[in-house]
Structures are given as structure tokens and as C-alpha cells.
Amino acid sequence: MFNATGPENFVYRAASWELGDTVRSEIYRVLGSVRRFDPDDERALGIWDTRKMQQINAQVSIGIQIFLGVIGALTLLVGGMGVANVMFAVVKERTREIGVKMALGAKARQIMLPFVLEGLLITSLGGLLGTLLSLGLIAVLAALPLKGPAFEIMGRPTFSPGVALATALVLGSIGMLAGLFPARRAALVDPAVSLRYE
């Protein structure tokens, strides 16, 4: 209520997030009895509840995190396809070697294991280089005196061990699959055909 005889606005904060609605209804009740308006009439007072803005900001933040997570997962998947293509080329290149091993009695798992390990090694090295690069970028951005609304709203990038662990698990799974499929192809090669392979 706006008039010349009383305060035009005041700021309050509830003791906890959960008490916000109770405090709001109490303000309507107390001021309604003092200023003689119905406490159920929400048009009598204009209350700006910052909790709604915080909820919207939290939902936007979650949406951005999900979007970036999907983009990151797709990037890892594309990288895994690249590793799988490299591993298929490696299997093709070593076809004669695989044939010799199989002719000498090597079992399928003995043929597959080096290719799976090689796929894991390639993806692990890529993940390690990516982590080091991101840590360097975080350090550079932390050292720069950058200001502005973007940094106030979004904040500065930080290293998250939880995200790093999830990324490592996804990357490890992709690396294993990228090595496993070419390895299975290598293990199914007919020794006689592979020995004649040029």
C-alpha cells in the first residue's frame, strides 16, 4: 500500500526456505489487521518472492548442465567411433600376424586382448590430454581479471571430480567397445585366409 504516512516497501527474509510460505501468509495476516484489508486478498500487497527466481535459475542451470552433458557424451561417442575406425585399420594391417598366431594355436582371447588394451590405451591417453588441457584452461581463466554479467550469472569454470569420474567411466566404456569390436573381427579371421592376405 502506497501513501505518504507509512513505509512504501520493506525487505524480509525467512529463517529457512521452507518457512517462506508461512512467513508470507503471516505478513498478509498482520498487515491486513493493521491496514484493514482481507489477508486472503493477494492484490492488497505486492510481494516479490525471490524464491521463484531462484527456482527458475536452478532449473535453467540444470537445463544447461543436461545440454552440456549430452553434447559431451556425443563428443565422446564420435571420438570412440574414430578410435574404432583406427582399430579396424590396425586389425586389417595385422591380418597376416593374426593368422600366424592362430595357426600356432593362439586362442580367441589371446588375439582379442591386445586390441582391447590398445583401444583402452588410446582413449585413456586422449582423456588424460583432454583433462590436462581443461585444467590449464581453468587456471588461465581463473588468473584473468574477467568481469561482466556472464561471469556473475554463470560463474567461472571449475574442475568437478564427479564429472571427471563420470567422463572417465564413459570414456573407458567407449574405449573398451572401440577395441572390442575390431578385436572380435580379428579373432574370427580364418587362419588360412589371413596367411594369404596381402
How many domains does the chain contain in total?
2
Helix pair angle (108-143, 50-93), 10° resolution: 140
pLDDT at site 131 = 86
Q: Between vectors from CA 6 to CA 5 and to CA 12, what angle results, nearest 5°?
A: 175
Same-domain pairing of 15 and 91:
no
pLDDT, mean over the chain? 80
Same-domain pairing of 25 and 79:
no
Range of the domain at 13: 1-48
| Model confidence at 2: pLDDT above 70 | no
Residues 146-176: tens digit of each pLDDT: 777 766 666 777 888 888 888 888 888 887 8
| Residue 32 binned pLDDT confidence (cut-offs 50, 70, 90) | confident
Same-domain pairing of 101 and 139:
yes
Burial of 47 (0-12, 13-18, 19+ CB in 10 A): exposed
Same-domain pairing of 22 and 119:
no
DSSP string for 125-164: HHHHHHHHHHHHHHHHHHHS---SHHHHHH------HHHH
Same-domain pairing of 9 and 100:
no
Using only C-alpha atoms, what is the Rg of the chain?
31
| Model confidence at 99: pLDDT above 70 | yes
| Model confidence at 198: pLDDT above 60 | no
Same-domain pairing of 73 and 95:
yes
Same-domain pairing of 3 and 82:
no
Same-domain pairing of 127 and 44:
no
Cβ neighbors of 40 (< 8 A, separation 6 or more) are 28
The grid coordinates listed for 167 are 567422463
How many Cβ atoms are within 10 Å of 110's Cβ, its own excluded? 12
DSSP string for 84-102: HHHHHHHHHHTHHHHHHHH
Residues 119-149: tens digit of each pLDDT: 888 888 888 888 899 899 888 887 877 777 7
Same-domain pairing of 186 and 95:
yes
Same-domain pairing of 136 and 38:
no
Rounded to two decimals, the pTM is 0.61
Range in 94-98, 116-120, 188-192 with the lowest mean pLDDT = 188-192
Same-domain pairing of 80 and 37:
no
**Average of per-residue pLDDT across 94-98:** 78
pLDDT at site 195 = 62
Residues 38-85: tens digit of each pLDDT: 888 877 777 777 788 888 888 888 898 899 888 888 888 888 788 888
Asked whether the CA dihedral 179, 185, 186, 188 is positive or negative, the reply is positive
| Residue 4 binned pLDDT confidence (cut-offs 50, 70, 90) | low
| Model confidence at 117: pLDDT above 80 | yes
Same-domain pairing of 19 and 61:
no
